[in-house]
Structure 1
Amino acid sequence: MEGLQRMLDAIEYVESNLDNELQINDIAACAYMSKFHFQRMFSMLTGFSISEYIRNRRITVAAQELVHSESKVIEVAMKYGYESPESFAKAFRRIHGISPTAARKNSQSLKAYPKLSFQIQLKGDVEMDYKIVEKEPFTVIGKSIRTSTISGENHRKIADFWVRSNQDGFAEELSKNCGSLGLLGICLEFDEKQENIRYLIGAEKNVDQIPDDWEKATIPGASWAVFPVHGAMPDAMPKVWERIFSEWFPATGYEHADGPELEVYLSDKDPSSADYYSEIWIPIKK
Structure 2
Amino acid sequence: MIGALNALVDLVERDAAAEVDVAGFARAQGTTEYHLRRMFSALAGMPLSEYVRRRRMTLAAAELVGGAPNVLDVAVRHGYGSVEAFGRAFRAVHGIGPAEARRDGGPLRTQPMLRFRLSVEGSVPMDVTVITLPELVLVGHAARVPLIHEGVNPHIQQHIAAIAPEEHVRLKGLNDAEPSGILAVTGDIEPDAPDGTTLTYLHGVSLAPTTAVPDALDVVRVEGGAWAVFSATGPFPDTLQSLWAATATEWFPSHPWRLRPGPSIVRYLEFTGTHATCELWLAVEPE
Superposition TM-score tier, normalisation by shorter sequence = 0.7 to 0.9
What is the Cα deviation at residue 97 of structure 1? 1.7
- Residue 15 of structure 1 is matched in structure 2 by 13
Q: Residues 221 and 29 of structure 1: is their aligned pair in 2 closer, same or farther, counting only changes over 3 Å?
A: closer
What is the Cα deviation at residue 258 of structure 1? 1.8
What is the Cα deviation at residue 89 of structure 1? 0.6
What is the Cα deviation at residue 40 of structure 1? 0.5
Aligned-residue RMSD, C-alpha: 2.4
- The one-letter code of the counterpart of 2:168 is L
Structure 1 gaps of 5+ residues are: 148-152
Map 1:1-286 → 2, pairs under 5 A: 3-29=1-27, 31-141=29-139, 142-147=141-146, 153-155=147-149, 159-170=153-164, 173-178=167-172, 179=175, 181-191=180-190, 194-195=193-194, 196=197, 197-205=199-207, 208-211=213-216, 214-267=217-270, 269-273=271-275, 276-286=276-286
What is the Cα deviation at residue 132 of structure 1? 1.4
Would the aligned equivalents of 2:135 and 2:222 in 1 still touch at CA under 8 Å?
A: yes
Structure 2 gaps of 5+ residues are: none
Which of the two has greater strand per residue? 2
SS at match of 2:11: helix
CA deviation string 1:49-75 (max 9, x = no partner): 111100110011111112213341111
Would the aligned equivalents of 1:18 and 1:58 in 2 still touch at CA under 8 Å?
A: yes
- The one-letter code of the counterpart of 1:253 is P
CA distance in 2, matches of 1:170, 1:45: 38
CA deviation string 1:240-272 (max 9, x = no partner): 1111111111101211122222111233x4242
Would the aligned equivalents of 1:158 and 1:199 in 2 still touch at CA under 8 Å?
A: no
Would the aligned equivalents of 1:133 and 1:225 in 2 still touch at CA under 8 Å?
A: yes
- The one-letter code of the counterpart of 1:185 is A
Would the aligned equivalents of 1:138 and 1:218 in 2 still touch at CA under 8 Å?
A: yes
Q: Residues 116 and 41 of structure 1: is their aligned pair in 2 closer, same or farther, counting only changes over 3 Å?
A: same
CA distance in 2, matches of 1:278, 1:166: 17
- TM-score, normalising length: structure 1: 0.86
Would the aligned equivalents of 2:58 and 2:111 in 1 still touch at CA under 8 Å?
A: yes
CA deviation string 1:71-100 (max 9, x = no partner): 411111111111311111111111222211
CA distance in 2, matches of 1:13, 1:171: 53
What is the Cα deviation at residue 28 of structure 1? 2.9
SS at match of 1:155: coil
- Count of aligned pairs: 274
